[in-house]
Chain A
Amino acid sequence: MRLLSILVAETVKSHQHNFHNKLIYFSLLIWPALLFVTAYYSFKPFNLSDSSPLFAYMDVDQIPMFLLTGYLGYIFFWSLVQSAWGMSYERQAGTLELIFLTPVSRIVVMFSRAAGNLLEAVWLFTGFTLIVLVVTGNAGDIHWWNVPLGLLILSVSAIVWGGFLNIVFLFSRDAGILFTIFEEPMQFFSGVRIPVLAFPVWGKMIALIFPLTYVLEIFRDLVLNGKGLVELAEPFIVLFGVLAFLTIVSIFLLKKAETHAKETGNMVLF
């Protein structure tokens, strides 16, 4: 009950704070849609027949679906990088210190903040994706009964990721470097546009760093390839391991961050 109350409070605060101007819909829909269209047309000039080098790693007829699911996953994860960036505002406004003045569970606030922001940030592009599927006649390629499970896995993974990033931003006012690290590299190496299998070994190693890589693999297998839970047991275990690791690290870092702030008073520095 308490968790739900904090989740609602964070969602409402995020909505009231961020949806102040209609331009927000530009970044929620137009921007990701443009990313998808740009990526799709950047494939067009190349050989996409059976003799394409990509053919070894994916069904080239599925490129639009591959990109659409890739960008859907990317928007889930990227929106939470942006949300974590908003912690700088909380620091500057002094509200971050006020949150820590209250007896609320810090871990609940950090993950609720991620969940609230996720809900706000992805509903429009998720709706857009569904409309594109219907309008382009690709709805038949989707294994719809797996979609709810796919979206659930995507959401839970993104929330764990977002909570982790929020906590990282507690440590430093200069965590903006994460923005640089996670924008283009996460988009490229997580397999949003190109299958990870197509990367050289060093690229595959980098891909392992991003949780989005594991999530996209499962999401595509569920939604595009119609695989079941039994077939996906191994990637599920790996993903669960990654998320458990991120959660444990988050709890550890949060304690460290609060202890550090209580020693240095850095929560008000900006």
Chain B
Amino acid sequence: MVMIEAMNLGKVYTVKKKINFFRSEKQKVSAVKGLNLTIGEGEIVGLLGLNGAGKTTTIKMLSTLLNPSSGKITIDGLDAVKDAIKVKRLVNMIAGGERMLYWRLTGTQNLRYFGKLYGLSGGELEERIHDLLEEVGLTEASHTPVELYSKGMKQRLQIARGLINDPKYLFLDEPTLGLDAPVAKQLREMVKRLAKEQGKGILLTSHYLEEVEELCDRVYIIEKGSLILHDTPENITASVVKNYHIKIESSALSTFQQNRIKQGLSGCSIEFSELGDSTEMHIIAPFDPTALIINVCMKESIAIQKLELKRPRLEDAILTLAKGKLA
């Protein structure tokens, strides 16, 4: 199967630390350590981690902009270091933010320039520009200078630029950074289409964990350059976050009723708070306690006014992991 395979990937930067005006000291900083990663065709893979975890360095190594200090990257069997020029034809990278475009050029002119750098020309190039601008919804603004684009439009043009060489593999570094919810949703839908309909292998980094949960087939979580977890978003959540949270608003409860609920839900943590003529219960359980609490309430003739179940999300998993690392 053709794919991207990174084996035992490492990157060490040498940074100069100034001691005084005349002297500086070289220090080695490991940004990525022994990372193993694969991306298959049509697969969306998430790369998560706190700031400085090594996500961008990993993406730049995969896209041939950085050489790994150790390990090996093969893309469809090609060595990303030795066959860098061939690999560059297969990949592209899109970063969030408003840089990486010529602001004084129009959308069409930007795409035409980058298309020529990929060896495209004539009718083929013009057709691809037309199709991409249509795909990202910028046809009407195609002859407007980029400096007059909104943030969302610039990001959509970035996506078009990243697709100009019709790459097999696309690396998205925070592609929805700072975008409005509707524009971010549009981009997410486009990313899904690129993977599922066009079979592109996509690596995605994002701080919006709901986005990762919605899009990614598999997720790698890295911490200070090392892999700490790799699985589907669902499995990661299930393995890291053990607790379900339920918030129930009911008719005012007597102390007797509160004790009955506590007895019926042994093993769970329950907090009661009075809200005038009603009571709010906050239950934390290592299992889904919905059926149990409804059963107890029915037995005790407690009227449930509102029930809110918060299932564990990927975000909870990351927060739990981060808490563990920061503690």
On chain A, the residues within 8 Å of B104 by CB distance are 16-17, 20
Q: Which residue of B lies closest to A263 (CB)?
A: B67
| Residues in B whose Cβ lies below 8 Å from that of A98 | 100, 114, 161
CB closest residue in chain B, given A20: B104
Complex: how many Å from CA A98 to CA B121?
A: 18
Chain B 5-48 per-residue mask, 1 if CB under 8 angstroms from chain A, else 0: 00000000110000000000000000000000000000000000
Q: Is A104 an interface position by the 8 A CB rule?
A: yes
A1-22 CB contacts (< 8 Å) to partner B: 2, 5-6, 8-9, 12-13, 16-17, 20
- Which chain B residues border A100 with CB–CB below 8 Å? 65
Complex Cα–Cα for A262 and B104 (A) = 29
The minimal Cβ–Cβ distance linking A244 to chain B, given in whole angstroms, is 26
Contact of A97 among B100, B102, B109, B161 (CB under 8 A): B100
For B67, list chain A residues within 8 Å (CB): 259, 262-263
**What count of chain B residues pass the 8 Å CB interface test?**
34
Which residues of chain A come closer than 8 Å to B57, judged between CB atoms? 265
Q: Mark B60-72, 1 if CB is under 8 A from A, else 0.
A: 1001111100000
**Please, how many angstroms separate the alpha-carbon atoms of A13 and B104 in the complex?**
9
Q: A12 near B109 (CB under 8 angstroms)?
A: yes
- A5 to B93, alpha carbons, bound, how many Å? 23
Verify if B103 is at the interface (C-beta below 8 Å from A): yes
Task: Tell me the number of A-to-B contacts counted with CB atoms below 8 Å.
Answer: 83
**Complex Cα–Cα for A112 and B14 (A):** 33
The residue on B at minimum CB distance from A13 is B113
User: A264 to B14, Cβ gap below 8 A?
Assistant: yes
With a cutoff of 8 Å between Cβ atoms, the chain B residues found around residue A23 in the complex are: none
- Nearest Cβ distance between residue A120 and chain B, in whole angstroms? 14
Task: Determine the distance from Cα of A263 to Cα of B13 in the docked complex, in whole angstroms.
Answer: 7
Bound state CA distance, A204 and B93, in angstroms? 51
A9 to B112, CA, bound (A): 8
With known contacts A101-B63, A265-B13, A12–B85 Cβ distance under 8 A? no
Contacts of A235 in B (CB 8 A): none
Task: Tell me whether B116 is interfacial, beta carbon within 8 Å.
Answer: yes
Contacts of B116 in A (CB 8 A): 5-6, 8-9
A12 and B102 alpha carbons, distance in the complex (Å): 12
Q: How far apart are A172's CB and chain B's nearest CB, in angstroms?
A: 14
Which chain A residue lies CB-closest to B122? A5
Please tell me if the beta carbons of A17 and B102 are within 8 angstroms of each other in the complex: yes
Q: How far is the CA of A103 from the CA of B113 in the complex (A)?
A: 13
Which residues between 57 and 101 of chain B lie within 8 Å of chain A, taking CB atoms?
57, 60, 63-67, 85-86, 88-89, 92-93, 95, 99-101
Inter-chain CA distance A186–B111, complex, in Å, is: 38
Known: A13-B105, A264-B13. A102 touches B114 (CB 8 A): yes
Q: Is the CB of B13 within 8 A of A101?
A: no
In the complex, are the beta carbons of B60 and A265 less than 8 A apart? yes
Nearest Cβ in chain A — how far from B100, in angstroms? 4
Which chain B residues border A261 with CB–CB below 8 Å?
Answer: 65
* Cβ B89 vs Cβ A262 within 8 A: no
Q: Check B88–A101 contact: CB distance below 8 A.
A: yes
Chain B's nearest CB lies how many Å from the CB of A200?
Answer: 35
Q: How far is the CB of A260 from chain B (nearest CB, A)?
A: 10
Q: Which residues of B contact A265 (CB under 8 A)?
A: 13, 57, 60, 65-66
**A249 on the B face (CB < 8 A):** no
Contacts of B103 in A (CB 8 A): 93
| B85 with A103: CB separation less than 8 A | yes
Contact between A9 and B117 (Cβ–Cβ < 8 Å)? yes
A6 to B116, CA, bound (A): 7
Contact A16 B93 (CB under 8 A): no
CB neighbours of B14 from chain A (8 A):
263-264
Indicate if the CB atoms of B100 and A104 lie closer than 8 Å.
no
Whether B109 lies near A103 (C-beta < 8 A) is no
Q: Which residues of B contact A101 (CB under 8 A)?
A: 63-65, 88, 92-93
**B121 and A262 contacting across the interface, CB-CB below 8 Å:** no
Decide if A16 touches B65 in the complex (CB within 8 Å): no
For B112, the chain A residues whose CB sits under 8 A away are: 9, 12
**Closest 6 A-B residue pairs measured CB to CB?**
A94-B99, A94-B100, A9-B116, A102-B117, A103-B88, A262-B67
A residues near B (Cβ < 8 Å) are 2, 5-6, 8-9, 12-13, 16-17, 20, 92-95, 97-104, 109, 259, 261-265, 267
Can you add 20 more A-B contacts, CB < 8 Å, to A93-B99, A264-B13?
A8-B116, A9-B112, A12-B113, A13-B102, A16-B105, A16-B109, A17-B102, A20-B104, A92-B99, A98-B114, A98-B161, A101-B93, A104-B117, A104-B118, A109-B117, A262-B67, A264-B14, A265-B13, A265-B57, A265-B66
- Write 8 A-B pairs (CB below 8 A) sorted by A numbering: A2-B119, A93-B103, A95-B101, A102-B118, A102-B165, A103-B119, A104-B119, A259-B67
